[in-house]
């Protein structure tokens, strides 16, 4: 006999609807940004937008290359600073730290990930900006470098926890195989464990890059916000996301300026999407290898 | 004439935290002979063999008393260099564990960590080791491929080759065939037969036919204690203890 409500099927269907919602929201956001941004290209060519370096909305100039370059510089600066630190910390936690140190350090690092970004920004504005100004003897500490440093601190927890998990998931057998041949701790770590955990570590770094390129609040406070092509790490600059934050309030809805700001958002959106896919593919590949 | 004792185990006890896993074990292992250790699961035979290359040092909370003499020198003395010990006493594990790198790099791993950098020497060692492990003919044309692409039996012979590459004196086999099919197992046993000409071999196995086929001496472990030890033929044909007889005739285990 067929029941009116088959509980199993109702629950199954409900869960499916909920999970599809996430996908629908993602698609809607994508459509919304495309809809807001693409009309720009009726007035400005794609290459003028991506390669031009004059951003004067009043004159109809929408060259965004200085924002793109600043965003990439900030991101790579942050990665360069946090990767060596993060991997070292992960190796320490996974292989060397005694139990009690692990129990203190790991939660502290996870707490670091939970601090709101504006707090990082304020901290950086007071400490890091002054530090950069004094150390490098520049007119203002509000530079790409200051933003890189604060971002490096912010993405450190991602890199540490993912790297530590990947190192710990390397099968014990590899470790024993290495020790049985007369390898020292250090030889085992750098010749077997870290390479075997490599794909997982890279996935973590990519995820961290995605986080860095999208971060707005902490960056906008310390980067100086000058709409000029930065010549180096000690120049101020303005990233894609900080430009959106600073100008969205004054842009008239549906104006070309408004369209252009959406396009600024489209750039990190596509980059992050691409990076997430790459990162998750690396992670699954890694899991398959150890199965 | 009897060959000399390569390893002498004296009053060996081992605890995992509070649990005693080995109790007062005494045993002599002859040079260039195969010594098999048999016994039911959990009897301590693997734990015992892992004392000989101090692999148990890696586990937290392990306490060991007694001594193991390798060429009359106690390997648990304070001044012993564990790295040098493990170079002399190689180990092949229950599951094949090649590193996720090429066949060549797997074999060259040991020599490289011990400081050999010269390419020609490495190439020579890799070839000798693979020949020694009866794997050369199967892989000589693809040394650059990932070792994980080999079959299980080939991987295990690769692991044997890898331990040969550091020129050990003793090789410990910890149930080397438990993950392999009968054909691959046969190849490993043939290999052990070859290897005994040059190396002192200790093999832990839960397969009694295997112990009977490959070994010169056999020790029977029960509940952390070496209950009986002797020439393999004597143990299998004329066991002195009732427990040994029950085990090898399959009445328990």
How far is residue A23's CA from residue A94's CA, in Å, rounded to a whole number?
Answer: 35
Segment holding B138, helix H or strand E: helix B136-139
Residue A287 has pLDDT above 80, yes or no: no
- d(Cα A156, Cα A51) in Å, to the nearest integer? 32
Measured from the Cβ of residue B42, the count of other Cβ atoms closer than 10 Å reads: 12
Chain B residue numbers touching A178 (CB-CB < 8 A) = 99, 109
Specify whether the CB–CB gap between A90 and A167 falls below 8 A: yes
Contact A176 B97 (CB under 8 A): yes
Chain A nearest-CA distance from B162, in A, is 8
CB-defined contacts A:B, below 8 A: 65
Name the A residues in 145-184 with CB < 8 Å from any B CB.
171, 173-184
Using CA coordinates, name the residue in chain A closest to B81. A182
Q: Please determine, for residue B1, whether its predicted confidence score (pLDDT) is greater than 50.
A: no
| CA–CA gap between residue B221 and residue B228 (Å, rounded) | 7
Which of B87, B97, B101 minimises the CB distance to A173? B97
Q: Would the pLDDT of B15 be above 70?
A: yes
B-chain CB neighbours of A180 within 8 Å are: 53, 55, 86, 90-91, 93, 163
pLDDT at A4 over 90: no
Q: What is the mean pLDDT of residues A203-226?
A: 92
Q: What is the pLDDT of residues B126-172, one digit of tens each?
A: 999 999 999 999 999 999 999 999 999 999 999 999 999 999 999 99
Strand B62-70 versus strand B5-16 pairing type: antiparallel
Residue with tokens 């037969």: B193
Q: What is the share, in percent, of chain A residues with pLDDT greater than 70?
A: 96
What is the pLDDT at residue A291?
A: 44
Find which of B17, B58, B61, B97 to mutate to test the A interface (most A CBs within 10 Å of its CB): B97
Q: Is the ipTM, as predicted for this complex, more than 0.95?
A: no
Task: Answer whether B87 sits within 8 Å of A181, measured CB to CB.
Answer: yes
Judging contacts by C-beta atoms under 8 Å, the chain B residues touching residue A176 are 55, 58, 91, 93, 97
Of B22, B20, B32, B8, nearest in space to B171 by CA: B32
Mean pLDDT score, A168-188: 94
* Cβ separation B100–A171 shorter than 8 A: no
pLDDT at residue number A185: 93
Quote the tokens at residue A258. 């408004």
Instruction: Write out pLDDT tens, residues B88-104.
Output: 999 999 999 999 999 99
Q: To which residue do tokens 């100004």 refer?
A: A133
Contact B162 A177 (CB under 8 A): yes
pLDDT at B252: 64
pLDDT digits 0-9 by tens, A38-62 = 999 999 999 999 999 899 998 989 9
Does the pLDDT at position B2 exceed 80? no
Q: What single-letter DSSP state applies at residue B3?
A: P
Percentage of chain A beyond pLDDT 90 is 79
CA distance A62 to A65: 9
Cα A144 to Cα B191: distance, rounded to the nearest angstrom: 63
> By the CB < 8 Å criterion, does B236 face chain A?
no
Q: Scanning every residue of chain B, which has its alpha carbon at the shortest distance from the alpha carbon of A187?
A: B113
- Which candidate in A174, A177, A180 is best for mutational testing of the B interface (most B CBs within 10 A)? A180
For chain A, say whether B90 makes contact (Cβ under 8 Å). yes
**Cα–Cα dist B90/A179, whole Å:** 10
Kindly state the helix (H) or strand (E) to which residue B129 belongs, with its residue range: helix B119-132
Q: Is B49 on the interface with A (CB under 8 A)?
A: no
Tell me, what's the pLDDT at A289? Answer: 58
What are the residue boundaries of the structural domains of chain A, listed by start? 47-290
Nearest to B83 among A171, A184, A192 (CB): A184
Which of A171, A181, A195 has the CB atom closest to B110's CB atom?
A: A181
Q: Which residues in chain B have Cβ-Cβ distances shorter than 8 Å to A102?
A: none
Q: Rounded to whole angstroms, how far apart are CA atoms A59 and B139? A: 69
To probe the interface with A, which of B70, B82, B113, B129 has the most A CB atoms within 10 Å? Answer: B113
Q: Which of B58, B84, B114 lies closest to A179 in CB terms?
A: B58
Contacts of A174 in chain B (CB under 8 A): 97, 99-100
CATH topology (fold) of A47-290: MetI-like fold (1.10.3720)
A189 reaches B (C-beta below 8 A): no
pLDDT at residue number A2 = 61
Q: CA of A173: which chain B residue's CA is closest?
A: B97
What are the chain B neighbours of A183 within 8 Å (beta carbons)? Answer: 83, 109-110, 113
pLDDT number for residue A117? 92
Q: Tens digit of pLDDT for each residue in A86-127?
A: 999 999 999 999 889 999 999 999 999 999 999 999 999 999
- What is the band of A8 on the pLDDT scale with cuts at 50, 70, 90? confident
Give the closest of B55, B114, B148 to A180, CB-based: B55
CATH fold for domain B5-248: Rossmann fold (3.40.50)
Of B97, B100, B114, the CB nearest to A182: B114
pLDDT at A193 > cutoff 70 = yes
Q: Whole-angstrom Cα distance, residue A267 to residue B249?
A: 74
Looking at the complex, report in whole angstroms how far the Cα of residue A10 sits from the nearest Cα belonging to chain B: 45
């Amino acid at each position: 006999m067929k029941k009116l409500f088959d509980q199993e099927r109702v629950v199954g269907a409900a869960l499916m609807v909920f999970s599809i919602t996430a996908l629908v929201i993602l698609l809607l956001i994508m459509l919304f940004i495309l809809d807001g941004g693409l009309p720009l290209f009726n007035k400005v060519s794609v290459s003028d937008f991506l390669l031009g370096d004059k951003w004067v909305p009043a004159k109809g100039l929408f060259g965004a290359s200085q924002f793109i370059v600043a965003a990439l510089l900030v991101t790579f600066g942050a990665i360069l600073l946090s990767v060596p630190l993060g991997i070292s910390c992960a190796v320490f936690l996974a292989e060397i730290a005694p139990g009690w140190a692990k129990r203190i350090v790991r939660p502290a690092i996870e707490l670091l990930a939970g601090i709101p970004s504006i707090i990082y920004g304020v901290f950086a504005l007071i400490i890091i900006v002054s530090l950069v100004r004094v150390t490098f003897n520049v007119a203002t500490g509000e530079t790409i470098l200051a933003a890189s440093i604060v971002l490096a601190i912010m993405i450190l927890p991602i890199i540490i926890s993912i790297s530590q998990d990947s190192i710990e998931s390397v099968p014990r057998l590899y470790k024993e195989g290495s020790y049985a041949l007369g390898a020292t701790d250090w030889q085992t770590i750098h010749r077997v464990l870290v390479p075997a955990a490599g794909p997982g570590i890279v996935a973590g770094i990519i995820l961290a890059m995605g986080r860095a390129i999208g971060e707005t609040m902490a960056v906008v406070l310390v980067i100086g916000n000058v709409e000029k092509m930065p010549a180096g790490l000690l120049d101020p600059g303005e990233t894609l996301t900080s430009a959106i934050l600073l100008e969205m309030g004054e842009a008239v809805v549906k104006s070309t300026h408004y369209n252009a700001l959406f396009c600024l958002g489209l750039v990190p959106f596509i980059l992050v999407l691409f990076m997430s896919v790459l990162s998750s593919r690396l992670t699954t590949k890694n899991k398959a290898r150890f199965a | 004439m009897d060959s000399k004792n390569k390893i002498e185990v004296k009053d060996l006890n081992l605890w995992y935290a509070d649990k005693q896993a080995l109790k007062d074990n005494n045993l002599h292992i002859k040079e260039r002979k195969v010594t098999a250790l048999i016994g039911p699961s959990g009897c301590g035979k693997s734990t015992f063999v892992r004392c000989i290359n101090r692999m148990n040092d890696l586990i937290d909370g392990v306490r060991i008393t007694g001594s193991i003499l390798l060429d009359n020198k106690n390997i648990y003395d304070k001044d012993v260099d564990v790295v040098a010990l493990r170079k002399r006493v190689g180990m092949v594990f229950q599951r094949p564990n090649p590193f996720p790198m090429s066949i060549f790099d797997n074999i060259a791993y040991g020599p490289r960590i011990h400081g050999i950098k010269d390419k020609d020497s490495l190439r020579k060692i890799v070839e000798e080791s693979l020949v020694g492990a009866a794997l050369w003919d199967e892989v000589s044309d693809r040394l650059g491929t990932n070792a994980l692409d080999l079959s299980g039996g080939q991987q295990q012979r690769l692991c044997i080759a890898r331990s040969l590459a550091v020129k050990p004196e003793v090789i410990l086999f910890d149930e080397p065939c438990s993950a392999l099919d009968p054909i691959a197992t046969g190849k490993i046993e043939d290999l052990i037969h070859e290897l005994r000409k040059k190396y002192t071999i200790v093999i832990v196995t839960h397969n009694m036919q295997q112990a009977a086929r490959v070994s010169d001496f056999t020790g029977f472990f029960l509940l952390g204690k070496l209950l009986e030890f002797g020439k393999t033929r004597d143990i299998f044909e004329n066991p002195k203890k009732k427990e040994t007889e029950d085990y090898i005739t399959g009445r328990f285990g």
